[in-house]
Amino acid sequence: MEEHEQQTTSAPVITHSTASEIENEFEDKEKNSEEKVEAALFIAGRFLNLQELIMLTDVNPIMIKEILHRLEKKYSTGTIRIIRRTDAYKMDIAEKYHYLINKLATGNAEFTKAEQETLAIIAYKQPIKQSVIIKIRGNKSYDHIKKFRQLGLVIAKKVGHTLDLSLSEEFYEYFNVHKKEASENKNKEEA
C-alpha cells in the first residue's frame, strides 16, 4: 500500500507531435497578430504610433516592430505601401497613384453629407419616427428616407400617420458592420 502512496514525478516528455503542435500554435498566434496590425493600419487612414498600435491590437512591442518590418517588405512593391514617419506608421497608396485618389476624391460620393447625417441619426436612434427625423433634418429628409428604403437599408413600419424607421439586415451587410457590434458600441456610448 505504501508503494502506491509514493508517487514519482517526472518531467513532461515533449514528443515530436507535441513540438509541432506548439510550433503551429505559435505560428497561428503570430499570423493573427500580423493580421491585427495590418487591419489597424488599413482602417486608421492616418499615422499610428507604436503605443497606439499596441493598444489597438494588444500585440507586444517587440512583436509589433517585427510585424511592421515584415509588412513594410510585403507592401514595398505594390500599389499599397506602409509609410514610416519616425515611430509612426500608415498604410497608404503608392505615390505614383496619388493622381487617381485625387480623381476619386473630387467625384461624387455614394451618399451626400446630408444623406449620411440622416442615415446616422436613423442608425443611432432606431427605431425612430419619420416625423422626428423631418423635425430634426428638414423636409429634404423625405428624399433621403425614400432613397434608403429603395436601397433596402431602412425598414419602415406604418405607425399612425407616420413611419417607424429602423435599419435592415441589408444595412449591416452594405456597410460591413455586425449588428451585435453596432449595438454594443451604442450601449457603450450611452453608458
CA 62/CA 76 separation, integer angstroms: 21
**Same-domain status, 21 and 82:** yes
Does 3 map to a domain?
Answer: no
Q: What is the pLDDT of residue 189?
A: 44
**pLDDT tens column, 33-55:** 999 999 999 888 889 999 999 99
Q: What is the pLDDT of residue 172?
A: 85
Q: Averaging pLDDT over each range in 26-30, 85-89, 151-155, which range is the top one? A: 151-155
**Distance set, CA 98 to CA 39, 79, 82, 110, 128 (Å):** 21, 10, 15, 21, 41
Q: Which of 30-34, 82-86, 94-98 shows the lowest mean pLDDT across its residues?
A: 94-98
**Same-domain status, 60 and 127:** no
Its pTM surpasses 0.85: no
**Same-domain status, 69 and 139:** no
CA 180/CA 27 separation, integer angstroms: 30
% the chain with pLDDT above 90: 48
For residue 4, name the pLDDT band (cuts at 50, 70, 90): low
**Residue 31, domain extent:** 17-97
